[in-house]
Amino acid sequence: MARMLERLSRSLRTVCAVSLLTVATYAAAQGVRGDHPDTYVVQRGDTLWDIAGRFLQRPWLWPEIWQANPQIQNPHLIYPGDVISLSYLDRVTGMAVQPGPRQDPAPINAIPLSDIEPFLRDLQVVEDFEHLPYVVGLEEERMRAAEGQVVYVRGLAEATPGERYTIVRPTTRYHRLERSGLCCDLFYKDDLDFRGRHVRDGRQFWTNVVFPDSGRETLGHELVRVSGGTVTRGEVGGIQVTTLLLDQEGNEVRVGDRLVPVNPQPYDLQFFPHPPRLQTEYGRARVLAVADMLTTGGPRDVIAISVGTREGVDNGTVFSLWREGSSSIDRVEKGPDRDPQTVFFENKLRLPDEFSGHAMVFRTYERVSYALVMDSVKPTQIGYHLKHPDAPY
């Protein structure tokens, strides 16, 4: 009898150990932090990314984990006051939402919409804008026009009174320059004048000379919202322009600004973070610009990137951000006084890329997208590479 009890005890210990190992392994596979609390009460101002960041080592995986939990109908319908619990006693690896004393009728979002709404509303990227109607004159021949004044537009011959338009301004043109045989393609941007024409830039002169146009690709033109207005009079009685009354707050309108039809709610407000769906060739996914004319950004800053729907990028795609490793000469081998300019590229040492942070895409176009920097360990700069969020190097 004693031997039977000993064997049974040993078997039970083995089963328990295997069960605990299985649960722990599954939790580790999902990237659950070991110091998570038993429960968490959702607070006003929280975001799903921030909450997942408290519990998960990889917060962009929260949709898969939460959707696997049968208690959650919609992972976006989580409200301030709800109680989120983490429990592994019944092998439920996930976050169970309990109906708590909800403090706010609006659910929390994946990311802070206040950080991206101006960019969702005010920025867009188009392949070409030359066909768009444009402002040719202002009331009383002013240099600028503001809300309550009228502007005169060419290219709206068929417009009728009451139609509404958004006034946009072409400001930037993004390029990719293919450099065969070198480490990476070259990305740069051009500033545009009031007509939307390229402004000559001496910094790009030698680039344009050395590399022919055959390897150059225009990724898109960035349009910035300036104002909005309503058509009050069309091209009638021999008048060759359409009259538009400015009725929205915004920046001052000037000659050369373009018009696009008003598009109510032209963007998503909910995002499901996920890794890229397609593998992008190294060097093709880069940071093109940082918002507000900056060259360096951090958490909650918006960046423009050089990939879009053509590369399978959609809203919610998460990338890791990397500073490109430097190409350096071996001064031990070649001497401390060796001029780096005298060493060919292929004879230099390639140092590893350096991790910067993560960014999530919130607006996509064919060749360009906008993303929000979600977290970082160092500033993100123009030219940084974008990789899979789990890329080790």
Give which of 93, 65, 45, 85 is closest to 274, Cα–Cα.
Answer: 65
Q: Which of 60, 77, 110 is the last residue of a domain?
A: 110
Residue in the structure block whose two tokens are 């009898």 = 1
pLDDT of residue 68: 56
pTM above 0.75, yes or no: yes
What is the edge-to-edge ordering of all strands in the sheet holding 287-290? 287-290, 302-305, 369-376, 354-364, 318-323, 385-387
The residues that bridge with 393 in the sheet, in sequence order, are none
Domain of 363, CATH number, reads 2.40.10
- pLDDT at position 292, please? 76
Q: Are 146 and 172 contained in the same domain?
A: yes
pLDDT along the chain (393 residues), means of 10: 42 33 35 65 82 78 64 71 61 57 73 80 89 95 93 94 95 80 69 72 46 69 94 91 93 94 76 87 91 83 94 94 85 73 73 93 94 92 94 88
d(CA 381, CA 54): 27
Q: Which domain holds residue 57?
A: 35-110
- CA distance linking residue 304 with residue 368, whole number of Å: 7
Q: Which amino acid is at 27?
A: A
- Does residue 302 share a domain with residue 348? yes
- Domain match, 160 and 214 both: yes
| Residue 213 lies inside a defined structural domain of this protein | yes
Is 166 in the same domain as 184?
yes
Work out how many domains the chain is built from and give that number. 3
Per-residue pLDDT at 150? 96
351: amino acid identity, one letter: L
Single-letter code of the amino acid located at 96: A
Where on the phi/psi map is residue 98: left (φ > 0), alpha (ψ -120 to 50), or beta? beta
Query: Which pLDDT does position 371 carry in this prediction?
Result: 94
Task: Look at residue 352 and tell me if it is in a domain.
Answer: yes
Rounded Cα distance, 16 and 34, in Å: 20
